[in-house]
Structure 1
Amino acid sequence: MMPQGPKDVVTQAVDEMFGKRDPDAVARLVTPGFRQHSALLGDGPEALRAHVAALPETFSYTCARLLSDGDLVLMHGTYHGLGPRPLVAFDLFRVADGRIAEHWDALTPEAGATVSGRSQTDGPTLVTRPGQRATSRQVGETFLRTVLIDREYDRIAEFVHADDFAQHNPGTGDGIAGLGAASAAMRAQGLVPRYDRVHRVVAEGEFVYTLSSGSLGGSPYAFHDLFRVDGSGAGGGFIVEHWDVLTPVPPRLPHDNGMF
C-alpha cells in the first residue's frame, strides 16, 4: 500500500531505499521526473537507483528529527558507512502525488568535539507545540532577513535569547556571547558568512528550517539552519536552539538544477 501523507512517503522511502537498501523502491516511491539538487548525485530516478544499489552493507542512517510543512519534508540525521567518519546531514524532500519529486541536501563530517559540548544532532527531537508553526516561521524568517541578510547585527537580541540559547554548531558556544566570539574568530580568518537569499522554509511546531544561499570567505555557500523557537519572547518568540550544516557550492554539479 502506498503511503498517504508527505511524512509517510519520505519515511517509507528512506526505510526502503536506505534502510533495506532496495533499489526497486525508487520506481515505487520516486516520480519519473525526479529533480536532484545534491552536489553528489546526478538527476533523475536512475541516478538515485544506482546510488542505492551501490550502498555498502555497513551503511545506515539515524534520523534525529522529521518535520513537514505542506509538500516539504525535512530530515535531520546522521549517515554511517559512507566514509571514515559519520556524516551529519539535512535532507529536504518535496512530495507530489504520493512520491518524492525533488531533493536537496547538505552533509558534513561529524565533529569530534564542539565548543558547547553538544553534538551536532542531539537536543529536543519531537514537535511538542503543533500550534506554533506560524510563530516559528515568522521568527526564523525575520531573523534571517534582519540579522543575517540585512546584517543588522545590533538587533540580534530581538530574536535570540541572550542566555538560554543552545548551540550545536561545532565552533560556536552558547548564548549571544558565543555567537559573538565565533563571529570575531571567523572575521579574523577572513571567513565572514554572508547570507543573500532564503530559498526554502519548513516550519512545524517549535522548529523552523531554512535553506539559504550566500558566501563564506568570498566563496559561494549553501546554509542549512534549523532553529527551535520558544514562542514566548518579544515579537512572538525567541530562538533558543540552533543546528546547522554549511556546504560549499562547487563550480560544477552533476546536473543542471542548482543546489537551491
Structure 2
Amino acid sequence: MTNKEKALALIETFTTGDTEKARELLADGYIQHNLAYGTGAKAFIGAVSYLASAAIKTTVKNIRAFEDGDKVFLQTVYNFAGSGEQVAFDIFRFDSEGKIAEHWDNLAIKAEANPSGHTQIDGMLEKKNVDREETRKIVKNFVGDILRGENPDNLTSYFNKDSYIQHNIAIADGLSGLGVALESMAKQGIQMIYDKTHFVLADGNYALAVSEGTFAGVRTSYYDLFRVENNKIVEHWDVMETIAEKDTWKNQNGKF
C-alpha cells in the first residue's frame, strides 16, 4: 500500500470498526493533534471501537487526497455517529517504517453553497503533474504577502484578473467577491488575522497552507487549499476552526 492508501484505509476504519487494521497502520508512539482526543494508538483504537458501537453508522467520504514527502493530506466529509456532516482536512505523517506517526486536522460543519453557488468540497478534482516546488513557492509567498499581510500591494500579481473560484462559505468568486467580504467584515469590526504558518504541503498544482491566528479576536486555526494554474491562484477551499481553550484539551500536543 502507498502512504496515501494507508491514510485512506485508516479513516475508513471509522466506518468498519476494524480495530486490527487501525492498529496495523498506526505507529506505537502515534501523536494526536486533534485536541478533542487522547494521544497514542490506544486512544485512536478506542475511538474506532466507540463509533462501531454507536446506534448510527459513521460515514466517511473522501473528496481529494494528496501526498508530499512523508505526509499525506486529505479533504474529507465525515458524519460521526449521526452527529452531522463535517468537512475536514487531515494531515498524516508517516515514519521510516511506513506507519502513521502523527495527525493534524481542521473540521467545520458542512454548510450551504456560498454566494457564487460553490460548496466547501465541489470544484476541480483533476490534479496536474507539475513541479510541486513551484506550486509550494507560489502559495507560500501568497500566504506571507497577503494572508499574513507582509506585502499586501502584491495582491493582484497572484491572480489572473478577477478569475478566481472561491469555496469559502461566505465569499463570492473573484477578487471582487473577496473585497466585498472584507469590507463587510470591517464594517462589523471583525478582523481575520494570520500570525504564523506551520505547513505548506504541495502535490502537483495543489498546496495546503496550515496557519494560526485570530478571527474576531478568537484564536483560530486556518487550513487553506489552493489550486494553481499557469503560476496563478485559480481556486481556493478552506476550513477554519476555533482553537479550544487549553483546559479542555484531551492531549497536550497542541493544535500544531
TM above 0.5, one fold? yes
Give deviations 1:73-104, integer Å, cap 9, x for gaps: 01101012445531011011101121110001
Distance apart, 1:125 and its partner CA:
1.8
Q: In the alignment, is residue 68 of structure 1 matched against residue 73 of structure 2?
A: no
Using the alignment, how far apart are the partners of 1:8 and 1:110 within structure 2? 25
* 2:5 alignment partner in structure 1: 8
* 2:199 alignment partner in structure 1: 200
Q: In the alignment, is residue 247 of structure 1 matched against residue 246 of structure 2?
A: no
SS of 2:116's equivalent in the other structure is coil
Using the alignment, how far apart are the partners of 2:239 and 2:33 within structure 1? 16
* 1:86 alignment partner in structure 2: 85
Contact 2:212–2:220, Cα closer than 8 Å, also in 1: yes
Q: Identify the range of structure 1 (207-216 vs 179-188) with the bigger mean alpha-carbon deviation.
A: 179-188
May I ask how many residue pairs the two structures share in their alignment?
250
RMSD between aligned alpha carbons?
Answer: 1.5
* 2:232 alignment partner in structure 1: 238
> Structure 1 unaligned runs (5+)?
none
Against the structure 1 CA distance between its residues 34 and 133, is the aligned structure 2 distance closer, same or farther, given a 3 Å change threshold?
same
What is the aligned counterpart of 2:21 among 25, 32, 38? Answer: 25
* 1:118 alignment partner in structure 2: 118
Task: Give 1:102-117 correspondences, 5 Å limit.
Answer: 102-117=102-117
Task: Give 1:164-203 correspondences, 5 Å limit.
Answer: 164-203=163-202
Q: Which amino acid aligns with 1:249?
A: I
Using the alignment, how far apart are the partners of 2:162 and 2:35 within structure 1? 37
Against the structure 1 CA distance between its residues 219 and 44, is the aligned structure 2 distance closer, same or farther, given a 3 Å change threshold?
same
Q: Which amino acid aligns with 1:13?
A: L
Distance apart, 1:258 and its partner CA:
0.6
Contact 2:58–2:82, Cα closer than 8 Å, also in 1: no
Task: Give 1:34-53 correspondences, 5 Å limit.
Answer: 34-53=30-49
Q: Which amino acid aligns with 2:200?
A: V
Q: In the alignment, is residue 152 of structure 1 matched against residue 151 of structure 2?
A: yes
Contact 2:209–2:224, Cα closer than 8 Å, also in 1: yes
Give deviations 1:183-219, integer Å, cap 9, x for gaps: 1112222221111111012101110001111111122
> Structure 2 unaligned runs (5+)?
none
Using the alignment, how far apart are the partners of 1:126 and 1:12 within structure 2? 21
Give deviations 1:47-87, integer Å, cap 9, x for gaps: 11111111134211111100010011011010124455310
Q: Identify the range of structure 1 (243-252 vs 152-161) with the bigger mean alpha-carbon deviation.
A: 152-161
Identity of aligned residues (%): 33
Using the alignment, how far apart are the partners of 2:237 and 2:106 within structure 1? 12
Contact 1:9–1:95, Cα closer than 8 Å, also in 2: no
TM-score, normalised by the number of residues in structure 2: 0.93
Contact 1:65–1:126, Cα closer than 8 Å, also in 2: no
Using the alignment, how far apart are the partners of 2:83 and 2:186 within structure 1? 31
Q: Which amino acid aligns with 1:58?
A: K
Using the alignment, how far apart are the partners of 2:46 and 2:160 within structure 1? 45
Distance apart, 1:114 and its partner CA:
1.5
TM-score, normalised by the number of residues in structure 1: 0.91
Using the alignment, how far apart are the partners of 2:239 and 2:202 within structure 1? 17
